[in-house]
Amino acid sequence: QRLAIMLSGRGSNMVALVDAIQMGALRELAEVAVVFSNNPDAPGLATAAALGCQTANLAPAGRKRADYDAAVVQLLREYELDYLVLAGYMRILSPVLVRAYAGRILNIHPADTHLHQGLHAYEWAFENKLPETKITVHLVNEGLDTGPVLAQRPVDLRGANTLSEVERRGLLVEHELYADTLVRLFRGQISPSTPASYPAAPPD
Ligand code: GRF
């Protein structure tokens, strides 16, 4: 499967996926066609290039969301992609992009998307002193973190006394779960489940 990994910042999930593709469980199942960012200065882009990945970026430059996403669709076309894999891609996708890759866009969310959507999921877990949070990999639809869930894995947060400890534990699980989920998806071992309804997203 030909993937675009889409990021806006650090890119630790991208690194985990590239590792799994280059020398792990995703070898022979996937290739990174491009690592794309909306942010030309994203540290993850430089990291991807250092790992030998093709990179591309396009800054929104004040364009309306739909216009920008139409330009992204245009740019991505040449890579003949099977899947878009969002890994810290900090933009809400407009229908023009979601429909261009319908059912073929994945995202990782650092909480159970039935309970929490949008930004600051680790802060939410930390502030609410949750004993556990659930990392979620889901398909992207036209809502914010409301697409069909592909996989979830719990993170034990007991005794995590700082936000950075919550994030550290969560990211370890994120990095494993994203690659594992892609393996199972590409082997035809998972089919998405659609929850009946979602609560309204809390204000950020
Ligand atoms: C991760 O926590 C991911 O779940 C969220 O954004 C963060 C990106 O981190 N969507 P990184 O850029 O992959 O290090």
Nearest to 144 by CA among 192, 107, 181: 107
110 lines ligand 1 (CB under 6 A): yes
Q: How far apart are CA 88 and CA 167, in angstroms?
A: 14
Q: Is 177 annotated as a binding residue?
A: no
Q: What pLDDT shows up at residue 81?
A: 98
Ligand 1 pocket test: pick from 10, 13, 39, 41 the residue with the most ligand atoms within 8 Å of its Cβ.
Answer: 13
Q: Whose CA is nearest to atom 9 of ligand 1?
A: 88
Ligand 1 atom with minimal separation from the 110 CA: 4
Give the relative orientation of helices 12-23 and 163-186 as an angle to the nearest 10 degrees.
Answer: 40
Taken in order 24, 165, 51, 69, is the CA torsion positive or negative? positive
Q: Whose CA is nearest to atom 6 of ligand 1?
A: 88
Query: For residue 32, what are its two tokens?
Result: 């990174």
174 lines ligand 1 (CB under 6 A): yes
Q: What pLDDT shows up at residue 192?
A: 64
Q: What pLDDT shows up at residue 201?
A: 45
Q: Which residues are catalytic?
A: 109
Ligand 1 atom with minimal separation from the 135 CA: 4
Q: What pLDDT shows up at residue 203?
A: 46
Q: What pLDDT shows up at residue 30?
A: 98
In sequence order, the 6+-apart residues with CB closer than 8 A to the CB of 135 are: 108, 109, 110, 111, 152, 153, 154, 155, 170, 173, 174, 177
Q: Give phi and psi for 62, each to the nearest 5.
A: 80, 0
CB 163 within 8 A of CB 122: yes
Ligand 1 pocket test: pick from 108, 112, 169, 181 the residue with the most ligand atoms within 8 Å of its Cβ.
Answer: 108
Q: What pLDDT shows up at residue 191?
A: 75
Q: What is the pLDDT along the chain (204 residues), one digit of tens a residue?
A: 999 999 999 999 999 999 999 999 999 999 999 999 999 999 999 999 999 999 999 999 999 999 999 999 999 999 999 999 999 999 999 999 999 999 999 999 999 999 999 999 999 999 999 999 999 999 999 999 999 999 999 999 999 999 999 999 999 999 999 999 999 999 999 876 544 344 444 444
ipTM (interface predicted TM): 0.98
Q: What is the set of domains in the chain, with CATH numbers?
A: 2-186 (3.40.50.170)
Q: What pLDDT shows up at residue 195?
A: 46
Ligand 1 pocket test: pick from 5, 6, 8, 12 the residue with the most ligand atoms within 8 Å of its Cβ.
Answer: 12
Q: Whose CA is nearest to atom 3 of ligand 1?
A: 88
